[in-house]
Amino acid sequence: MHSFGYRANALLTFSVTALAFICAIASFSDKFSNQNPSAEIQILNINRFKKQSYGNDEVSLTLDISADLQSLFTWNTKQVFAFVAAEYETPKNSLNQVSLWDVIIPDKEHAKFRIQTSNKYRFIDQGHNLRGKEFNLTLHWHVMPKTGKMLADKIIMPGYSLPDAYK
Amino acid sequence: MGWIGETVDSIKSIKIRQLLTQAVTLGMIVTSALIIWKALMCVTGTESPVVVVLSGSMEPGFQRGDILFLRMTKEPIRTGEIVVFNIDGRDIPIVHRAIEVHERKTTGEVDVLTKGDNNDVDDIGLYADGQMWLHRHHIMGRAVGFLPYVGWVTIIMTEKPIIKYILIGALGLLVITSKD
């Protein structure tokens, strides 16, 4: 009853159970954090707006993105993945979401930022529906914890539109 | 070296009934583990409720050796979700983030483009020849939870199978020689 094997087994089982319990509590503590992030996006310039040789519209734009995501960080947060997506409707598709830019925020200090950038990923439509198109720019974020449940949410900013003619 | 003598003695003195009892106990343990696994599959709605992260393409969020808990619901797939998918013809699941979604008005079907957070380019190069988008039937689940480091056991056992054999051999020996 007191051999090394039994003692090692009991120790291992207990430590694994305790560790699992601690991880669950850490994840649960995220529920109590008060989160109020804010963001603002402006389109500074439409750089290019053309129809590709395959027939799909492509847009290149410069965005001014400012956001304060500091309140999303808790002691159990490993990083926050934030990205800006353009969302719009076309005759064929009820929803199109195209990610334009993203960033990995490793800690609270970097979570309040303002950046001017052209879109990191190509904004290409399935078709040529973008002339005069109205779209929303949505800032999504994904809180990735050190252990436990991941959390995702977004701020929708409507009211942006593309020019009526190619450029 | 007394325990070698003890082990040899205990192997010699095995009785048939004791051996059968131990075999049944072992069978019960294995089947109850299987039952728990299948129940998890039902609850989470996906064929693999837990996956191990194998590559560094989602760093620094997910490192190699982390475990992801998956869930698959009827809700539509949207950008930002971390999805696990299989490419036709390959059996290793890939865990990446959806960066583009186009949903058809008429059928509700979706075209999805994915990319690993740590990769510079999207996953078009990973898809099958001629495939431009992922569809819902490729996607096995969404990642909802995460545990670090625990998956290293699986990685070690897959990449160095000799350790798997040593472990199973040692467990087998333990079962045979235990006096329960």
Write down the pLDDT at residue B112. Answer: 92
Among the partner residues B79, B117, B146, nearest to A140 by beta-carbon distance: B79
- Given a cut of 60, whether residue A1 has pLDDT beyond it is no
Q: Which residues on chain B are in Cβ contact (under 8 Å) with A140?
A: 79-80
Q: Which residues of chain A have a CB within 8 Å of the CB of B145?
A: 27, 148-150
Of B57, B102, B129, B180, the active-site residue reads B57
Q: What is the pLDDT of residue B177?
A: 66
| B111 interfacial to chain A (CB closer than 8 Å) | yes
Chain A hits for B122, Cβ within 8 Å: 121
Tell me whether residue B39 is exposed, middle or buried, using C-beta atoms within 10 angstroms of its C-beta: 0 to 12, 13 to 18, 19 or more. Answer: exposed
- Does A93 contact B97 at a Cβ distance shorter than 8 Å? no
Determine the 3-state secondary structure of A99 from DSSP: strand
Q: What's the whole-number average pLDDT of chain A?
A: 87
Say what the pLDDT of residue B9 is. 67
* Interface check A126 vs B, CB under 8 A: yes
Give the pLDDT score at A151.
86
The encoded tokens of residue A24 equal 């669950």
Would an 8 Å CB–CB cutoff place A97 in contact with chain B? yes
Within 10 angstroms of residue B133's Cβ, the number of other Cβ atoms is 17
Interatomic CA distance for residues B142 and B88, integer angstroms: 18
- Which of A92, A144, A154 shows the shortest C-beta gap to B105? A92
Average pLDDT over residues A143-165: 87
B99 contacts chain A (CB < 8 A): yes
ipTM of the complex: 0.81
Q: Is the CB of residue A91 less than 8 Å away from at least one CB of chain B?
A: yes
* Rg (chain A; Cα; Å): 23
**Predicted local distance difference test score (pLDDT) of residue A28:** 84
> Across the strands, what pairs with A139?
A84, A155
Out of A134-143, B8-17, B164-173, pick the least confident.
Answer: B8-17
pLDDT of residue A97: 92
Measured between alpha carbons, how far is A118 from A121 in angstroms, rounded to an integer?
Answer: 9
For residue B153, the model assigns a pLDDT of 81
**With pLDDT > 90 as the criterion, what percentage of chain A qualifies?**
14
Phi, psi (degrees; rounded to nearest 5) at B107: -105, -15
pLDDT band at B114 (very low <50, low <70, confident <90, very high): very high
**Beta-carbon neighbour count of residue B152 at 10 Å?**
15
pLDDT tens, position by position, A42-94: 888 888 888 888 778 888 889 898 888 888 888 888 899 999 999 999 988 88
Instruction: List the catalytic residue out of B10, B32, B48, B96.
Output: B96
Query: Shortest Cα distance from A16 to chain B (angstroms)?
Result: 11
